[in-house]
């Protein structure tokens, strides 16, 4: 009989862990993000500033209140406003906001790149009892800047443009955005000078620029032979591949100089003088001839004094 009783007790001892394993989970607490998006984008305003709100939750399944305090790491360049020390009641779930603000520019005014993860934020929640840490949990979140595409074109040329000639027009493109970009389309705008033409604008299309980079290309601009004296306004318009927006440079004033008519056409007075000289060429004396026109055909007659 005793042997049977001992055998039953042994069976019960082996079965008890199985019963425990199938029982309810041990009450605990858990920390997590409200959003699963990776990375989280930091949207920038026109001054490259941002403010980001990250929401997280704490689930406390314990029968007692939970007191935690937070530590934020790896975001030294930004300002962070965390909830401080909080209490989560027993068997409850509570959400909190983490506010992060800062600039998309570094200390020298250059843009932080939007082509890669900027920082990985580390949020640690520590359970405290009588100001002593007894347990902790941490969660991570990748942060990346919003891509801002900002191509800036400028035009320049040295000197004036003579009618009937051509000159090189320099076009510089600066990428002031925080992401790589390229020129999708380009065109030259000439105001109030229909006799001025250009060529070679295709060299601008497809130009690739890393953030902060610049490039200079040249096109040809020409004034027709009969172009009058005039100041023309020239600008360049380009389309950003990244934003799809057109950007136009400031206007450049180009002075066109027409040919000098006096150099090509002799004046009537000069012709008369040459005619008189031709008639007087046989004269070798010291006195100039006396010339006058006679009617009706206005013949020029000259008499010589000796």
Residues 268-288: pLDDT tens digits?
454 444 444 444 444 444 444
Indicate if 76 and 125 belong to the same structural domain: yes
Its pTM stands at: 0.69
What distance in Å separates the CA atoms of residue 112 and residue 212, rounded to the nearest whole number?
Answer: 10
- Choosing from 225, 240, 259, the residue where a domain stops is 259
Q: 124 versus 304: which is more confidently predicted?
A: 124
CA dist 269 and 40 (Å) reads 85
Q: In whole angstroms, what is the distance from residue 78 CA to residue 106 CA?
A: 11
- Classify residue 118: in a domain, yes or no: yes
Q: Cα–Cα distance between 37 and 95 in angstroms, integer? A: 17
CA 216 to chain centre: 16
Q: What is the pLDDT of residues 162-198, one digit of tens each?
A: 999 999 999 999 999 999 999 999 999 999 899 999 9
Give tens-digit pLDDT for 35-94. Answer: 999 999 999 999 999 999 999 999 999 999 999 999 999 898 899 999 999 999 999 999
Taking residues 2-20, what's their average pLDDT?
A: 44
Of 152, 160, 168, which is closest to residue 232 (Cα–Cα)? 160
- In this prediction, residues 2-12 reach a mean pLDDT of 44
Same domain, 68 and 101: yes
49 and 140 within one domain? yes
**Greatest Cα-to-Cα distance within the chain, rounded to the nearest angstrom:** 178
Distance CA 302, CA 293 (A): 9
pLDDT in tens, 83-123: 999 999 999 999 999 999 999 999 999 999 999 999 999 99
Taking CA atoms, 248 is separated from 180, 185, 220, 252, 258, in Å, by 19, 12, 19, 12, 29
Higher-pLDDT residue of 23 and 121 is 121
Domain end position, chosen among 218, 235, 259: 259
Alpha-carbon span 46 to 36, nearest angstrom = 28
């Amino acid at each position: 009989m005793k042997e049977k009783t001992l055998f039953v007790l042994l069976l019960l001892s082996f079965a008890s862990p199985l019963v425990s394993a199938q029982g309810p989970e041990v009450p605990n607490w858990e920390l997590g993000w409200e959003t699963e998006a990776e990375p989280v984008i930091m949207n920038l305003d026109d001054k490259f500033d941002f403010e980001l709100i990250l929401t997280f939750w704490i689930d406390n399944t314990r029968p007692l209140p939970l007191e935690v305090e937070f530590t934020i790491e790896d975001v030294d360049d930004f300002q962070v406003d965390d909830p401080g020390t909080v209490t989560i009641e027993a068997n409850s779930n509570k959400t909190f906001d983490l506010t992060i603000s800062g600039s998309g520019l570094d200390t020298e005014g250059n843009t932080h790149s939007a082509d890669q993860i900027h920082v990985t934020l580390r949020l640690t929640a520590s359970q405290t009892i009588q100001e002593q840490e007894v347990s902790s949990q941490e969660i991570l979140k990748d942060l990346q800047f919003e891509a801002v595409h900002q191509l800036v074109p400028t035009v320049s040329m040295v000197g004036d443009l003579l009618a009937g000639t051509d000159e090189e027009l320099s076009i510089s493109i600066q990428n002031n955005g925080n992401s790589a970009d390229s020129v999708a389309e380009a065109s030259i705008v000439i105001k109030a000078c229909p006799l001025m033409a250009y060529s070679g604008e295709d060299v601008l299309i497809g130009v690739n620029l890393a953030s902060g980079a610049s490039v200079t290309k040249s096109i040809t601009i020409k004034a027709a032979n009969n172009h009058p004296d005039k100041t023309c306004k020239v600008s360049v318009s380009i389309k950003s591949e990244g934003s799809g927006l057109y950007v136009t440079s400031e206007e450049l004033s180009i002075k066109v100089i027409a040919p000098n008519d006096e150099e090509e056409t002799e004046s009537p007075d000069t012709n008369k003088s040459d005619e008189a000289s031709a008639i007087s060429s046989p004269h070798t004396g010291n006195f100039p001839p006396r010339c006058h026109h006679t009617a009706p055909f206005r013949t020029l007659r000259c008499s010589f004094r000796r």
